[in-house]
Structure 1
Amino acid sequence: MKYLAGRLAALLAVLAVIGLLPRLTRTDPALTILRARYAERPPTPETLDAIRADTGLDGGPLHILGGWLGGLLHGDLGTSWVSGQPVAPDAIAALGVSLTLMGASLAVALLLAAALAAGTLRRGATRRIVTTRAGVGAAVLAAFPEFLIAAVLAAVVAVRLDWLPALGWGTPGQTVLPALAMGIPAGALLGRLLDDALPAAFAEPWARAATAGGLPATRIARHALRRTLPGLLPQLGLIVVGLTGGAVAVETLYAIPGLGGTALAAALAQDLPVLQACVLMLLLLGIAAGLAARLASRTLLGPALHDGALPALLPPALPARRLLTAAAVVLAALFAAVTVTGLLRDPLQIDAAARLAGPSTAHPFGTDSLGRDILARLGHGAARTVLTAVAVSAATLLLGLALGAVRAGALTETANALPAILTGLVVAGVAGPGPWSAAAAVTAVAWAPIAAHTSALYAQERAAPHIAAARALGAGRAHLLRRHVLPGVLPPVVRHAVLRVPAIALALASLGFLGLGAAPPSPEWGRMLSENLPYAERAPWAVLAPAAALAVLGATAVLAAAAVRGAGHRGARGRKGAA
């Protein structure tokens, strides 16, 4: 009951923020409506007051929130500020499109996950090998944002090869590329998780007894899958939540009339009733996916959920730490070299005679549609993105430490289930697009993993024997916190925050790609990708250069994190063996 009460309170808080968007916006809603519907009328106080009275915006926050919630109970999602038409019909139609796209993307994800884990499943069932096969490659692929894969697929498959249509919706061919763009990272993550869990399942006594008893390999494999599914279903729920965020970028790129593209257009136009409806539906989709995954997990566990009969699966051994470290160092050195070289060039200099010029000695990565040097823009964009990501990481570290210490579990889970793009739409609807809005949107949700890590370590340290001994000797709360708790909590949490810097940079780039970040002519990687995508057929280097930079950044983060995990796992195994 306490669990449900906390989650319900967090959900109501999010709903209140969505309902109060018209009051939170930095612009006058009446002025927005006047410009959209009655551009010929002067913005006199009488005219603005009449618009506020007609739309119900003349009351206080409670009046506006109550009116919006009351409309929801009657199926009324409001009236568009731009078109003056009811929001519900278009939002429901967009919901159907998004559900279809998410269903196709989930099918791609499940197929890819099955393919990645097939080798381990086959070998484990026949007892020939019980090690993971997907490896770091799947983790690297899972780290690529949907908008990056979507842009590369559009540039290569649709534009260069002309195999599939790049825009539109309504035919099976128009579903393939968007479903691949959203399904590949989700499937890579799910496949890596499944591939990691299977060896531990095959190593349990029941699997050995089944093999010794001559049970068919297919039945052993089926039971191993059932054994691992309860631990994977919550992750599957989070993956579906991630699809709701990825749908915004993918639907926008491929001109798909779904909730994501509709929400982005509404945020940029300050059409808050449409944005409210789209964000609410995307949020409910994510919540429904999480609840369905939790219920399915409890059903699969059965009696073991209550009697504790099911042992925890042990983590598998990771690839050699030296190899991972070497790969991370090489990619980091490449990233640093490109950044330094680009910083020595002017990112805003326009050479009209060299528009869309190919790579050369003068322009090693070519030029964009305005004749600006791509290498220079990559370097300056890297410096800007990394500095912003470091600042956001510092803010999330402080928030995570504070909220993790007070165990804000419900708030943490709610924030963890909100994609950064979704919060970016809300922040853009309130404050408008810009670099500060993008940073605030990422900060609003990126603290959740840090808080969860802090909470777990804090509880672990408070239960340690040395705390009880120090308390028995008369140590006060301040001394216990400063001398005993913080030394065990701060170092791993700070390392966690540092490893999340590239992921935060990718989230900022995704918002820049959607036009919710820095404004032109700022050399921001996401914006570079969106600006040059229309010229992908004539100048593919203009798209592939920022795409490769984002890919290197994501791969470096994954390899560095895997190297750190490998060191931690070996240390834990060594301590266990010594004990």
Structure 2
Amino acid sequence: MLARGGGPTLLWRTVLAAALVGAIGLLPWLSRTDPALTVLKARSADRDPTPATLRAIRDELGLDDGPSALLGRWLSGLLHGDAGTSWVSGAQVLPSVAQALGASLLLMAGALLVAAATVTAVCARTLRLGARGRPGARGRGRGRGGTVTAMLAALPEFLVASVLASVIGVRLGWLPALGWYGPPWMVLPSLALGLPAGALLGRLLDDLLPGAFTEPWALAAAARGVPPKSVARQAVRRCVPGLLPNLGLFVVGLTGGSVAVEQIFDIPGLGRLTLHAALAQDLPVLRTGTLALVLLAAAAGVLARLAARLLTGPALRDGALHSLHRPGPPAPRALPLLYGALLTAVIGLGLPRDPLALDALARLQAPSPAHPFGTDALGRDVLARVSHGALTTLGIALAVSAAALVTGLLLGLLPRLSGPLVDTVSAVPPVPAGLLVAGAAGSGTWTPALAVGAVAWSPLAAHTSALLRQERATTHLAATRALGAGRGHLLRYELLPAVLPPVARHALIRLPGIALGLAALGFLGLGAQPPSPEWGLLLAENQPYAERAPWAVLFPAAVLALLGALAVTAAGGVRLPRRRERLPRRRERSGGPAGPPGARVMPAPRRQSHQPDALLSPVPTPPAEKR
């Protein structure tokens, strides 16, 4: 099955990679600034940009030849193992990119270890209860774990990195905080990257585990006394294939998207290299780094799909799976209402205040009745800025999340088209994506929304494709197809009801990250400018004063974590309503169900209430009992 269609898929990947590299080559001309001036400022900021100097740089770099000629020379050199020299430093590009890629891969490996430990901690309660034959009890204890997970997933990486570097690295001196010289220097950056990623992956896995524990093999294994650890291990193996595509996206994101963490800890990684190249319009370095990320994303996507097929086995081919997405117990409503009320109260208390009022005598004041959240470095009220920033940040984030959900679902239903597209889009670092959108659409309020929306749909599409692949191999779908159901009926009544709720919950979990990504691009000058009270600007502006005035950072971060808690707990209640069975209009005098004229109606079999339905039918041998 993998070989079938491999040629068109490879051609589609090649076309997408070529289009991406070609679009990046247009950055100097899309930026509406003189590329020679940008390169001159990157080389020497104090040098006077005289016309003669700029003309010399244009002649040296061949800028007057146009982007197509530059791309042709770069490709011809790349075929011979030469990616050219950097426009800024003059060094060879390939060795510097290879060195940066090695550092990023080491950091990614450490972050994956931390993420795996975080996933284990998030799913520990569900695994313990499910392995003991009580999967339904998971919903009663989800509030506490969901709150902690939401806070971890909602905290921005650069904030976690700043706190770890300042507290553990500088103040306590337990671990080194700057540089890249050995394993001790990997601990703090791996924690900063792995904790949020592990929290998000843990929520996705925790959403699938209850369905695995209610399958016939798990119920039979628990009834026959199979050790709970074996049942839990097989349940994880059953659910992991649906998460492997997103895990591949995390690998690429941890390699090229960890720009802030590499900046804070002074790590010479690929994300930091591409950031500097994008800002300096150093095309040889930017093209080579992006190509390396595209190749890494393609390899991660192919390996994820192969691993999913190996873990699931022949069940995909034989249609022997059971659906993991069944109507579960109702989620608790008290926590979403509580978090929503707190967030509304914070926004309501700050709206009457002026977010732009300056007070030089009230700089960096601690929280007080006059300023409940304290003041920032310019004497502005932090509560007022948080409240007013919520109106624009949350509104645009909700719009982007809804658009990403619809796009991800539609493209996820076409896996052969969206698979290579997802791998290519996920390889684009956020800064070049923002620069490309800003160059095409111009800077403005909606520029960050377009940039984030251009890549926010990819994990949802990957999730949709993975769930759809497994749902098509379920026994109930094969039975429905055998009864004569068409594709439209299967899609509307079987596939979409099983795929839509988990993908919608996934989109809600990513809402805080989208809100932060919007504001972060605005801070880079691609959207709203200071003194706009956006949440990302608040965190970035107050980060240098975190030791002297921690409230200026902690309160905006707490509101962002509160948004994450609201999104995660509300996501647990996203369920499609059960379809009501249509009652027959005509019944026989005996009280039995109606049927066609002349047909003999058999009474429905009586079910025993003390025995699970799954154990009434023949049960395959559970994987844990095979010897």
- TM-score norm. by structure 1 comes to 0.79
Structure 2 residue 305 is the aligned partner of structure 1 residue 291: no
Quick check: 124-133 or 265-274, which moved more? 124-133
Match of 1:343 in 2: 351
Match of 2:426 in 1: 417
Distance in 1, matches of 2:133 and 2:504, equals 41
Distance in 2, matches of 1:118 and 1:561, equals 20
**Aligned residues of 1:346 and 1:376 also touching (Cα < 8 A):** yes
Q: What are the within-5 Å matches in structure 2 for residues 95-110 of structure 1?
A: 95-110=101-116
* Secondary structure, aligned partner of 2:376: coil
Match of 1:237 in 2: 248
Match of 2:60 in 1: 54
Match of 1:438 in 2: 448
Partner of residue 511 from structure 1, selected from 507, 514, 521: 521
Distance in 1, matches of 2:30 and 2:237, equals 47
Distance in 2, matches of 1:500 and 1:342, equals 26
**Aligned residues of 2:278 and 2:431 also touching (Cα < 8 A):** no
- Equivalenced residue count is 549
Partner of residue 342 from structure 2, selected from 334, 337, 362: 334
Distance in 2, matches of 1:216 and 1:239, equals 33
* Secondary structure, aligned partner of 1:310: coil
**Aligned residues of 1:423 and 1:444 also touching (Cα < 8 A):** no
**Aligned residues of 1:304 and 1:310 also touching (Cα < 8 A):** yes
Match of 1:545 in 2: 555
Distance in 2, matches of 1:33 and 1:342, equals 44
Q: RMSD of the TM alignment (CA)? A: 4.3
1:178, distance to aligned residue in structure 2 (A): 1.7
Q: What are the within-5 Å matches in structure 2 for residues 349-498 of structure 1?
A: 349-389=357-397, 392=400, 409-410=418-419, 413-414=422-423, 417-418=426-427, 421-424=430-433, 426-427=435-436, 430=439, 435-448=445-458, 463-464=487-488
1:547, distance to aligned residue in structure 2 (A): 0.8
Match of 2:30 in 1: 24
Q: What are the within-5 Å matches in structure 2 for residues 185-200 of structure 1?
A: 185-200=196-211
Name the amino acid aligned to 2:565.
A
* Secondary structure, aligned partner of 2:64: coil
Q: Which structure is higher in helix share?
A: 1
Name the amino acid aligned to 2:568.
V
Distance in 1, matches of 2:373 and 2:553, equals 10
CA deviation string 1:374-410 (max 9, x = no partner): 1222223223323443565677689779978999635
Segments of structure 1 that go 5 or more residues without pairing to the other structure are 469-489
1:106, distance to aligned residue in structure 2 (A): 0.1
* Secondary structure, aligned partner of 1:168: coil
* Secondary structure, aligned partner of 2:63: coil
Larger radius of gyration: 2
**Aligned residues of 1:125 and 1:220 also touching (Cα < 8 A):** yes
1:442, distance to aligned residue in structure 2 (A): 1.0
CA deviation string 1:333-392 (max 9, x = no partner): 333333343333333333222221101122221111222221222223223323443565
Q: What are the within-5 Å matches in structure 2 for residues 56-95 of structure 1?
A: 56-95=62-101
1:139, distance to aligned residue in structure 2 (A): 5.2
Distance in 1, matches of 2:381 and 2:112, equals 39
**Aligned residues of 2:17 and 2:294 also touching (Cα < 8 A):** no
Match of 1:572 in 2: 578
Quick check: 77-86 or 132-141, which moved more? 132-141
Partner of residue 194 from structure 2, selected from 183, 189, 197: 183
* Secondary structure, aligned partner of 2:88: coil
**Aligned residues of 2:84 and 2:93 also touching (Cα < 8 A):** yes
Distance in 2, matches of 1:247 and 1:576, equals 53
Match of 1:485 in 2: none
Match of 1:477 in 2: none
Partner of residue 180 from structure 2, selected from 161, 165, 169: 169
* Secondary structure, aligned partner of 2:268: coil
Quick check: 170-179 or 365-374, which moved more? 170-179
Partner of residue 226 from structure 1, selected from 213, 220, 237: 237
Name the amino acid aligned to 1:368.
D
Structure 1 pair 552–403 and aligned structure 2 pair: CA distance change class (3 A): same
1:240, distance to aligned residue in structure 2 (A): 2.0
Of all paired residues, the percent bearing the same amino acid is 56
Distance in 2, matches of 1:500 and 1:97, equals 27
Distance in 1, matches of 2:308 and 2:22, equals 30
1:154, distance to aligned residue in structure 2 (A): 4.2
Match of 1:112 in 2: 118
